[in-house]
Structure 1
Amino acid sequence: MGRKVTLATCSLNQWSLDFEGNLERILKSIEIAKTHGAKYRLGPELEICGYGCADHFYESDTLLHSFQVLRKLLESPVTQDIICDVGMPIMHHNVRYNCRVLFLNSMLAPSCRKILLIRPKMLMANHGSYRELRWFSPWNQLRKTEEYFLPRMIQEVTGQDTVPFGDCVLSTKDTCIGTEICAELWNPRSPHIDMGLDGVEIFTNSSASHHELRKADQRVNLVRSATTKSGGIYLYANQRGCDGDRVYYDGCAMVAINGDLVAQGAQFSLNDVEVITATVDLEDVRSYRGELCQPLMESEHKPCHRVKVDFPLSTCDDFYLPTHQPIMWHFHTPEEEISLGPACWLWDYLRRSGQAGFLLPLSGGVDSSSTACLVHSMCVLLCQAVEDGNTQVLKDIRRVVGDDSYFPQQAKELCGRIFTTCYMASENSSEDTRNRAKELASQIGSSHMNINIDMAVKGILGIFSAVTGRWPQFHANGGSHRENLALQNVQARVRMVLAYLFAQLSLWASGRPGGLLVLGSANVDESLTGYFTKYDCSSADINPIGGISKTDLKGFLLYCAEQFQLSALRGILAAPPTAELEPLTDGQVSQTDEADMGMTYSELSVIGRLRKISKCGPFSMFCKLIHMWKEVLSPTEVAQKVKHFFWMYSVNRHKMTTVTPSYHAESYSPDDNRFDLRPFLYNTHWTWQFRCIDTQVSQMTANTSKQ
């Protein structure tokens, strides 16, 4: 009957500037799409060069190599008889655009290798971690196209001099396809609205949408809403994996029709190529629109520029072809997201860095234990992937461990091959934390060491004393605040130096090749207040928990205790958070993190969201918190908390310029390097702002006394 179409979308683990690998993954996805009968294949945003090229987009090499890959795709027999939709940067009239290139390589006509159209991105992502306006310009000529002169290397293959470039849609023999690119779906003026009213039946979205905790439902709801309002078929493709930066792209390819999801890809996966296909009925779209949209579709509007192609997506004998039925999307809990997202990111980083494993200073506290559990979760995923027949994962594991015959049997055993933990004790460390670290290491299977740092600390202090004639003392022994803080910092910094020494040489000492990546374990709340020593053991190669709150980490450890049967975590969760950098009292810890910070971790989570997400300065934050915390704190106490936070934040902001690259998981992250662009030199007295708070407190107190 010629009304049912099979469409393919995908999630690809592309790597910035890895043109060889990116080409292989694109070709593999097209091959899989064809085996499932698809006549149209959609890939993720900028898949040819990788989305995260950043300032490499300025380089002519990036544009050149992208066209070279496009030529390989046009020439490949794999791309025959399927409309391919790929992403790459293109310069038009000396302006760089983020583009989709749609082409058809027809076997029916050997000379018919044609680029059908080039659609530039019209609405840019320029917030949070995204800086697209730094490298690209938006195409702002609605419903207009121009002629784009193809490079000679492409002309030689297609025989074309020019192709349509701009805001246009593709009209096949049986339907019409319109393109959206990533942020355009999230925009209040999404192109799919006008395209749908002009009769476009299939919408496609190529994305590079990163993972954040609790974000997946927004993405799914937007896709469903796009087709609920005006009908249509929506294909969503997304990047997957770590392509070279702090974010992790979590896949979630999907297909929807008339508000119903009919195909779903994995949100987290170690598969480099995942293709989702769906067979849908165009008549379902036409019937849906008949009642809801016809009056609006009849109204006057500027029509889309249609590029015609003599190619059908459907066949004449599709009567017996079953269509995909609606499904329910499975959403992960936040604890599952933490377990899966950073674990996949760690694996991409490890296998692409060329290193032989990880090293973690394991203190026996919540933060370092969370990092250890993420490595264990990674090993669980790796073993499952190998069991499921993922040959690429097995190949990468063998390369990491340096053994071509190795076959991982279980996560604990694999953990012992690629993960080293060390407890770095000082005279201020307790037996409780030492034992908790040792027990957790035993349960996850890491290669564990106990290291005493007192000799190194005393050696450094001896150098200082030899020069100055003074020996600093802890506050508990009569020392000043400056002495006390310096003595804490020297312990922390010695641990960093030793962590890197053991990371470089511990495998050498045991006769094994390679080095280890040092893992950090400072959470997002500690980064926000600067409650860590600059260049201490939180300084590392990468930090998988740097974008996760303490509250979420505690929930994650509870999940791990059940999911992975790690009983040691219950004792870790029950213990008060402490840095153990000051002398013990009767063998017990007297120093706690929350007491040092002057606020609880749950309070910090609220403050962090108000600062970043709600964009509150000191005064507006105070105005919100007096209502949010009115049941537990007076206005005066709220004012003290706010002023104390902003003092800590501004005094320690400089630390964020050197913070370890962290997995981005939280929208209130204070990462100065990519996400949270703010000064690092402040007037820490905040005189005007704090005076406004004090004035408001005085007015509230006066009003209360009158009552």
Structure 2
Amino acid sequence: MKETRLNLAAAALNQTPMDWGSNLQNIQDAVLEAASQKADILLLPELCITGYGCEDMFLSPWLSEVAFDKLLQIKEWCANITVAVGLPVFYNYRVYNTACIIRNKEIVGFAAKQFLANDGVHYEPRWFTPWPANVVEEFVVNGQRYPIGDIIFEEQGVKYAFEICEDAWRPNRPAERHIPKGVDLILNPSASHFALSKTDLRHRLVVEASQKYHCAYVYANMLGNEAGRVIYDGEVLIAQNGQLIRRNELLCFKDVDMEIAEVCFSQNPEITEVIEYLPPIDENSELTSALSLALFDYMRKSRSRGFVLSLSGGADSSLCAVAVAEMVHRGIGSLGVRAFARKSLLFKEDEITHLETLGPDEVEKAIVGRLLTCAYQGTVNSSDNTYNSAKELAKSIGAVFYNWTIDEEVKGYTKKIEHVLERELTWEQDDITLQNIQARVRAPGIWMLANIKYALLLATSNRSEASVGYATMDGDTAGSISPIAGIDKAFIRQFLIWAQQELGYEGLQYVNNLQPSAELRPSEEEQTDEKDLMPYEVLNQIERLAFHDRYSPEEVYQMLLEQGIAKPEVLKAWLTKFYSLWARNQWKRERYAPSFHLDDYNVDPRSWLRFPILSGGFKDELSRIQQL
């Protein structure tokens, strides 16, 4: 083929469902930036006009109509450039997920998604219809006819086609059909959710496809916390013939993050720039980046004025505090002090000017002091160790710190119930009740602070606790957002040690020396989480085998027995406790505050794992285990 060189650009965008003004501004900024760099083709993410997370609003025909009106605005910005932009199209009473090609202010056609994601956090078949292979049709809007379907496009003699996100993850992916038809370039607009280490899979998917099909491959992902639960890392990849040419920094705080490269198309294309990709991925660093961006986007998109946290001195609340501090640190590093402060919507111009006069450590603490308010709410069962842990961590990051006790409130509720029951409540008879009232009494005061400050209350539940319901509803589960509910307790404990050693959060030295404990029973009982439940590593293994790998209780037992996790009777007791508590506490998981999807699975019924509120509770399965 004749040699052709094209400047290929791809941009990650931080969009919000149905935020038409902001979404179009980001698209316009990307188009203008690409045009200024003489790009021939610009690829934008999947459904970037509407946002990917519109959910059941996609079923409303008016949404697609508004998106098409916005598309007509966008095309007027596309002078002397070809732009691929994503939107839903309502056609023949069905909704299709499409990428529209605009060339020099003219709409050329709409490539439609052929495979719909229907696993994990995705429910695309609820909203969209898959487009059949090798089919091209036309639809009419305002008297104008537009081609839609499985289309091959051309730019300066170079043929190109689409794989839209999930299309590329299937064995019979569209590229299998496109390449024999002379296609030399595949464009992939995506909304591929973040999960720990997933970028490694995505990188291989793109680079290996470019090698297998001897083509150039351009990938653009959505960026940020778009709709509340799911995070996008904003990955941009440009590869050719098995070589990675461009890759951006993931999980940045920008609204638009673009990469551009000149790519040679010929029989033996010249590849002058190659990026070395070096796994393995540091999942602790990934978690830090994802939590930071997710919290920042959630705060600013909800128009909240920072965060409030009941800081117990334990691992979970300490991680939430560090996540806010790291949000400030990474945000300033990505945007600079002025841009970060402006984007947070919390500072006046004169305050921003003052912040710019401060040194790096001072400015971070000053901003954390505005964004994070913490309170330690002790009881007679609380220890000096957890108090010092909470106080010193808050001080080290610059957070506002309050300290009060709740013993009088606990006594007040206890006396009321003792009066109506005409008996004394005792630890022997009323253990759970006496534990729960302490956790519940902590909620009203901390909610008051959140309301006064117009701030988000951070709930501190983790995935391990959610699995077995080891949390007090309307107590430690109270909150506007539950940022760490998608990760397990064992990961959290090692992460905090890493954060102390690698990120320099010396205030974590106190919590890292403590055993996790609810501190709700009298201190002489030396209550710990693992004494109440089982070792967290075992709990997490059971959870993963049961609900990620989908093995039966008997199969889980045999697998753990073969590993020598514990003696048979101990293992049977742990499995009985886990499955019984899991089935009994689905109602709690239904009521948790929204959580971020961070790992390759979670237990949130609104995003990953549905389970009946009422069930048989695995009685037969657990009975068979006892007989083994």
TM-score (norm 1): 0.85
Partner of 2:575: 642
List aligned pairs for 1:582-621, cutoff 5 A.
Answer: 582-585=521-524, 590-597=526-533, 599-621=534-556
Identity %: 30
1:453 and 2:420 matched:
no
> Which whole-Å CA distance do the structure 1 matches of 2:472 and 2:424 have between them?
21
Instruction: Work out whether 1:665 is the aligned partner of 2:618.
Output: no
One-letter amino acid matched to 1:382: G
Contact 1:87 1:99 (8 Å CA) reproduced: yes
Shift of 1:390: 6.7
Q: Secondary structure at the match of 1:372?
A: helix
Partners of 1:68 and 1:384 in 2: CA distance: 37
Match of 1:220 among 179, 199, 203: 203
Aligned to 1:548: 487
Q: Is the 8 A contact 1:499 1:537 kept in 2?
A: no
Shift of 1:52: 0.2
Deviation of residue 129 (structure 1)?
0.7
2:310 aligns with 361
Q: C-alpha separation between the residues in 1 aligned to 2:390 and 2:544?
A: 32
Given that 1:279 and 1:323 are in contact with CA atoms closer than 8 Å, whether structure 2 keeps it comes out as no
What's 1:308 paired with?
none
How far apart in 2 are the matches of 1:634 and 1:564? Answer: 39
Aligned twin of 1:309: none
Secondary structure in 2 matching 1:287: coil
Superposed displacement of residue 180, structure 1: 0.6
In the TM superposition, what is the alpha-carbon distance from 1:385 to its structure 2 partner?
3.2
Alignment deviations for residues 383-438 of structure 1 (CA, whole Å, 9 cap, x no partner): 22343x773x33223x2245653244421121111100110101110111101110
Q: Which residue matches 1:302?
A: none
Aligned match of 2:346: 400
Task: Give the corresponding residue for 1:137.
Answer: 129
Q: Render the CA deviation track for 1:552-601: whole Å, top value 9, x for unaligned.
A: 2123212221344222312311211100001112xxx610000101x111
Superposed displacement of residue 668, structure 1: 3.3
- Output the amino acid matched with 1:329: Y
Find 1:687's aligned residue among 614, 619, 625.
619
Task: Report what 2:434 is aligned to.
Answer: 487
Deviation by residue 1:272-331 (Cα, 9 ceiling, x = unmatched): 101111111112xx337xxxxxxxxxxxxxxxxxxxxxxxxxxxxxxxxx9651102355
Find out whether 1:651 has 2:584 as its counterpart.
Answer: yes
**1:378 maps to what in 2?**
327
Instruction: Determine the C-alpha separation between the residues in 2 that align with 1:35 and 1:390.
Output: 25
Give the 3-state SS of the residue equivalent to 2:163 in structure 1: strand
Q: Which of the two has higher C-alpha Rg?
A: 1
One-letter amino acid matched to 1:144: V
Aligned residue type for 2:57? H
Provide the C-alpha distance between the structure 2 equivalents of 1:432 and 1:694, rounded to a whole number of angstroms: 41
Residue 300 of structure 1 corresponds to which residue in structure 2? none
* Partners of 1:464 and 1:693 in 2: CA distance: 41
Preserved CA contact (<8 Å) 1:496 1:536: yes
CA distance in 2 between counterparts of 1:446 and 1:173 reads 57
User: Distance between the aligned counterparts of 2:381 and 2:569, measured in 1?
Assistant: 36
Give the aligned length: 619
Describe the superposition over 1:156-215 as per-residue Cα deviations: whole angstroms up to 9, x where unpaired.
Answer: xxxxx2121111110233210110100111111111122122221000101001111121
Choose the corresponding residue for 2:558, options 623, 627, 630. 623
Corresponding position of 1:526: 465
Q: For the residues of structure 1 that align with 2:349 and 2:412, how far apart are their CA atoms?
A: 40
1:184 to 153, 160, 167: 167
Whole-angstrom distance in 1 between the partners of 2:600 and 2:436: 30
Q: Which position in structure 2 is the counterpart of 1:287?
A: 268
Task: Kindly provide the amino acid, as one letter, of the partner of residue 185 in structure 2.
Answer: I
Q: Take 1:324 and 1:69, find their aligned partners in 2: how far apart are those partners? A: 38
| Counterpart residue number, 1:74 | 75
Structure 2 vs 1, CA of residues 327 and 658 (structure 1 numbering), >3 Å: closer, same or farther?
same
* Counterpart pick for 1:500 among 436, 447, 459: 447
Q: CA deviation at 1:53?
A: 0.2
- Cα distance in 1 for partners of 2:401, 2:604 equals 31
For residue 694 of structure 1, report the CA deviation from its aligned partner.
3.2
Contact (CA 8 Å) 1:532, 1:538: kept in 2 or not?
yes
* Partner residue, 1:31: 32
Distance (Å, rounded) in 1 between the aligned partners of 2:129 and 2:218:
25
Contact 2:254 2:335 in 1 (8 A): no
Residue 243 (structure 1) shift: 1.4
Residue-by-residue CA offset, 1:440-473 (whole Å, 9 max, x unaligned): 1110110000011111111222222333323312
**Partner amino acid, structure 1, of 2:351:** S
Per the alignment, in what secondary structure is the counterpart of residue 168 of structure 1? Answer: coil
Aligned to 1:315: none
TM-aligned CA deviation for residue 251 of structure 1 = 0.9
**2:174 matches 1:200:** no
The residue type paired with residue 456 of structure 2 is L
Root-mean-square deviation (CA), in Å? Answer: 1.7
Supply the distance in 2 between the matched residues of 1:473 and 1:8 (Cα, whole angstroms): 68
